[in-house]
Amino acid sequence: MTFIADCMLGRLAKWLRILGFDVLYFSKAEDPDLVAIARREGRILLTRDSGLIERTARRPDRLFIRSDDWEDQIVQVLDEFELWDKVLPNTRCIACNLPLKPLARERARNLVTPYVGEHAASFAICSGCDRVFWQGTHYGDMERKIEKLLERRGRSLTG
Ligand SMILES: [Zn+2]
């Protein structure tokens, strides 16, 4: 299941990527272009624009995002498409939307701070932009936010 988010949903798009989902996002895009891409690639259109929902009849599949709050938005998407068990943080680049490749600690050490190099549980790198991601330091602001989100549906990162 893949998505395309409208211009108003940048934070939702970023967070869906953090959780491992494939989400196209352009800070500037015309509605007909979003609809065309969604149809061509079979992506679900996420939009805050009720007019866009009305204008696009049935295709592509789309979801009207109700809230302005990004956490509520994520909960709505995960609820709607039953994705809570498909959350895989640290598997997709936040910037490029590309899948990450595992990165050995010996190589990661040269690319991150000494603390992270020692304490992170695992590393991954984006083949598009070479950005390094890691998880398991337990002190990351992002990890806390992910845990908080999952707790809203009784899930956790470890189980
Ligand atoms: Zn990247």
Residue 23 scores a pLDDT above 90: yes
Full set of structural domains in the chain with CATH: 3-86 (3.40.50), 100-151 (no CATH)
Average of pLDDT values for 76-99?
94
Tell which phi-psi region holds residue 97, choosing left (phi > 0), alpha (psi between -120 and 50) or beta: left
**Which pTM does this prediction carry?**
0.89
Residue pair 4/31 in contact by the 8 Å Cβ criterion: no
pLDDT digits (tens, 9 = 90+) for 93-122: 999 999 999 999 999 999 999 999 999 989
Ligand 1 centre from 53 Cα, in Å? Answer: 31
In degrees, rounded to 5, the angle at the alpha carbon of residue 152 between the alpha carbons of residues 147 and 155 is 60
- What are the φ/ψ torsions at residue 24 (nearest 5 degrees)? -80, 140
Distances (CA, A) of 93 to 17, 25, 31, 78, 114: 7, 13, 25, 19, 22
Ligand 1 centre from 99 Cα, in Å? Answer: 8
Ligand 1 centre from 42 Cα, in Å? Answer: 23
